[in-house]
């Protein structure tokens, strides 16, 4: 079918406030979205009795010689739209330079689309992206994440394709829920299976721990493991990675259970997918110590031996990747370390290196792009929530101030599952900041991290009478000022995406 944007028909109906960029013509039938204060409404204009109306929910009205269906932006209508319009369905991104643009609120996709479009669409985007941890904290489901992105993509008329990342999955139950909702990109997080004690263990301690690995799941044994690694080295574009007994046992003890878990999750995923294509990312970034080059070789080699296929991997790099702030560490040391990881990824793959907690790491984007030659995936999430707060600070200063006060109260509890170093006593006191200065808090290191990691508490906090403390007011501001939020997101994500554009263009 020919899907082309037209600006006639629906837009002439004075009772509707149709978003021009959302209007699509499908074989003479027009559909688009109406922007309401509380969100979107779907509008379809077709001949009376058209089979295109089948499956949609809404009110059917006479509109001259045409019939007009006006319906809610609900799960049923989103599902039917994805069936009717193939470009609303997520697709595989392969080895293209890509960026995951997470959305904790369900309203950020229009701004994300505008940023991607402004860079020429050369960086392959992922619009539906949220971790299971974030879903539990915001009270959202995988289906809601998918549907919210669907409406955002349609609202902006984006027809150039996108992926959908079921992020930081830890169990097969997580995979099941996200597969049902149509995700195409599955990020496996085996962090709880990583044994960080191996980093400082003695050789005798490592030998003892080696016997406790799940050898049956690894389809291996200690003798075969030693024979594979101690007799040879790996040459990755001039970088030679050698294993002695201590280095090998440290890698195996530290990551052996994680490798087994990833393999188990992968075979569950592929079995569940049947003939449907999907992509795998492996996330080992949320660990206490960096992933050494030898450990990277061990992980990739063992997963390949077990038949696992993946498109991207997120090691734990040197330095600190804290939430919502730039890279913390020696840039020269990062470049030296990252160059070897990039060579290993090309030699043992090729696969992309993934930058998790990648938002706002502006100082390393040019380095990552140059050293990978475009084999890189950027993953962001909470920075879009911070741009929502920027929008609120501009339009409802007292609400923003109340959120900041509450976030300070929740910070010490909520920071437990994040790698952050903000201190309350370094963050400005609420009463010391004027209304005009409130947006500046989002540029202050400590205040920014405090606001970042407390999102779940802010969005789900209840009053004594059971009502929402912030959520309704929070969302009302964003619904009332969608263009402000989208503009803030576009400007912010242009800074993220521009460093990745030059090499990405060469992939076309």
Residue among 281, 337, 360, 449 flagged as catalytic: 281
| 195 catalytic per annotation | no
Picking from 377, 416, 412, 449, the residue whose alpha carbon sits closest to that of residue 133 is 416
Question: How far is Cα 271 from Cα 269, in angstroms, rounded to an integer?
Answer: 5
Q: Which two tokens stand for residue 397?
A: 């200063």
| 281 catalytic per annotation | yes
CB-based contacts of 230, cutoff 8 Å, min separation 6: 243, 244, 245, 248
Q: SS3 string of 74-109?
A: CHHHHHHHHHHCHHHCCCCCCCCCEEEECCCCCCCH
Give the H/E segment covering residue 473: helix 471-480
DSSP state of 468: B
To the nearest 10 degrees (0 to 180), the angle between helices 142-156 and 172-180 is: 40
Question: How far is Cα 84 from Cα 297, in angstroms, rounded to an integer?
Answer: 44
Give the H/E segment covering residue 154: helix 142-156
What is the phi-psi region of residue 281: left when phi exceeds 0, alpha when psi lies from -120 to 50, beta otherwise?
Answer: beta
Picking from 81, 93, 133, the residue whose alpha carbon sits closest to that of residue 323 is 133
Answer whether the bond into residue 350 is a cis peptide, omega within 30°. yes
Residue among 167, 189, 302, 360 flagged as catalytic: 167
Picking from 499, 504, 485, the residue whose alpha carbon sits closest to that of residue 35 is 485
Q: Which two tokens stand for residue 245?
A: 């007994």
Active site residues: 167, 281
């Amino acid at each position: 079918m020919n899907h082309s944007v037209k600006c006639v028909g629906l837009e002439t109906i004075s009772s509707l406030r149709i978003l021009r960029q959302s209007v699509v013509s499908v074989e003479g039938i027009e559909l688009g979205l109406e922007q309401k204060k509380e969100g979107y409404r779907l509008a379809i204009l077709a001949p009376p009795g058209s089979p295109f109306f089948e499956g949609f929910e809404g009110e059917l009205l006479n509109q001259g010689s045409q019939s007009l269906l006006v319906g809610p932006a609900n799960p049923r209508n989103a599902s039917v739209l994805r069936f009717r319009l193939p470009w609303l369905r997520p697709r595989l991104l392969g080895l293209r330079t890509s960026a995951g643009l997470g959305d904790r609120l369900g309203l950020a996709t229009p701004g994300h689309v505008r940023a991607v479009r402004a860079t020429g669409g050369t960086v392959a985007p992922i619009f539906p992206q949220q971790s299971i941890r974030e879903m539990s904290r915001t009270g959202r489901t995988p289906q809601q994440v998918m549907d919210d992105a669907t409406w955002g993509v349609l609202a902006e008329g984006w027809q150039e394709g996108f992926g959908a990342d079921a992020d930081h999955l830890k169990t097969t139950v997580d995979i099941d829920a996200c597969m049902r909702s149509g995700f195409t990109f599955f990020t496996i997080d085996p962090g709880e299976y990583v044994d960080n004690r191996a980093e400082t263990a003695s050789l005798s301690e490592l030998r003892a721990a080696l016997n406790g690995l799940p050898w049956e799941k690894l389809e291996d044994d200690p003798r075969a493991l030693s024979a594979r690694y101690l007799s040879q080295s790996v040459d990755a574009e001039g970088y030679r990675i050698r294993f002695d007994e201590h280095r090998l046992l440290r890698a195996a003890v530290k990551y052996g259970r994680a490798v087994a878990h990833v393999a188990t999750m992968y075979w569950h995923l592929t079995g569940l997918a049947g003939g449907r294509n999907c992509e795998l990312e492996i996330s080992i970034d949320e660990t206490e110590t960096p992933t050494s080059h030898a450990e990277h070789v061990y992980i990739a080699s063992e997963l390949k031996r077990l038949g696992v296929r993946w498109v991207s991997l997120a090691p734990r790099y040197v330095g600190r990747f804290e939430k919502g702030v730039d890279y913390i560490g020696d840039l020269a040391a990062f470049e030296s370390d990252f160059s070897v990881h990039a060579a290993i990824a090309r030699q043992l793959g090729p696969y992309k290196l993934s930058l998790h907690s990648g938002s706002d790491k502006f100082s390393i984007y040019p380095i990552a792009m140059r050293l990978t030659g475009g084999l890189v995936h950027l993953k962001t999430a909470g920075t879009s929530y911070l741009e929502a707060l920027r929008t609120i600070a501009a339009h409802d200063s007292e609400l923003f101030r109340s959120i900041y006060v509450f976030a300070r109260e929740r910070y010490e509890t909520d920071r437990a599952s994040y790698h952050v170093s903000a201190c309350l006593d370094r963050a400005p006191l609420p009463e010391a900041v004027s209304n005009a200065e409130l947006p500046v808090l989002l540029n202050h290191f400590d205040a920014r991290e405090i606001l970042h990691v407390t999102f779940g508490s802010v969005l789900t906090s209840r009053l004594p009478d059971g009502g929402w403390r912030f959520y309704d007011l929070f969302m009302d501001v964003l619904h009332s000022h969608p263009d402000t939020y989208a503009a803030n997101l576009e400007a912010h994500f242009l800074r993220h995406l521009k460093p990745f554009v030059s090499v990405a263009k060469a992939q076309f």
